[in-house]
């Protein structure tokens, strides 16, 4: 009976973890002529954020989201073997983070079973790697997710970690 209890417990733990990231969708493209192994260094180009929040619903809870994103991107690039350089880097890294607190999507009303519009705040993160010599985009990844309005800073940290890890899986293949 103990192995069954262990298996059920493990299943609930895994299901609990996946539920925090189930809404995150990632698409990544690598340039057809890009040879990513030829690059050795990178620098940061630009960080852009935009927020559509006319009713003031967005509430940052003591977490530097842009800083967290940059931290995890740095980690992934170092894991790939790139080092940060402010002088003559091979790759420029940029990201854009957008949030729309007024986003709408169709959802099934549990009472009527009809499709209704529901306010579901969402966010999009796009990360771009640019060859500094040619100025060509060599890699781009876009992640979309629903904003979890009651998420703790720890949960946001985990969701950003998961998202960046998923985005960079293709570059590390």
Asked if the model's pLDDT at residue 173 lies above 90, the reply is: no
Give me the percent of the chain exceeding a pLDDT of 90: 39
Report pLDDT digits (tens) over 109-147: 888 888 887 777 788 899 999 999 999 999 999 999 888
This prediction's pTM: 0.77
Three-state SS sequence of 97-163:
EEEECCCEEEEECCCCCCEEEEECCEEEEEEEEEECCCCCEEEEEEEEEECCCCCCHHHHHHHHHHH
Q: Which residue has the tokens 């690598």?
A: 30
Catalogue all structural domains in the chain, each as residue range(s) with its CATH number.
Answer: 24-168 (3.30.160.670)
What pLDDT does 120 receive?
A: 73
CA distance 100 to 86: 33
- Give residues with Cβ within 8 angstroms of 117, minimum separation 6: 104, 105, 106, 107
Report pLDDT digits (tens) over 55-106: 666 555 677 888 899 999 999 999 999 999 999 999 999 999 888 777 777 7
CA distance 58 to 79: 33
Reported confidence tier of residue 6, pLDDT bands at 50, 70, 90:
very low
């Amino acid at each position: 009976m103990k192995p069954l209890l262990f298996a059920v417990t493990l299943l609930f733990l895994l299901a609990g973890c996946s539920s925090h990231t189930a809404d995150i969708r990632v698409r990544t493209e690598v340039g057809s002529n890009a040879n990513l192994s030829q690059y050795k260094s990178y620098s940061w180009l630009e960080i852009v954020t935009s927020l559509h929040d006319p009713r003031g619903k967005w509430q940052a809870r003591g977490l530097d989201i842009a800083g967290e994103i940059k931290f995890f991107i740095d980690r992934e690039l170092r894991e790939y073997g790139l080092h940060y350089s402010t002088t003559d880097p091979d790759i420029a890294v940029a990201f854009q983070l957008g949030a729309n607190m007024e986003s709408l999507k169709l959802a099934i009303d549990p009472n009527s079973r009809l499709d209704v519009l529901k306010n579901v705040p969402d966010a999009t993160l796009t990360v771009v790697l640019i060859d500094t010599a040619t100025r060509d985009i060599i890699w781009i990844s876009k992640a979309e997710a629903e904003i979890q309005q009651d998420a703790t800073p720890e949960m946001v940290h985990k969701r950003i970690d998961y998202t960046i890890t998923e985005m960079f899986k293709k570059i590390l293949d």
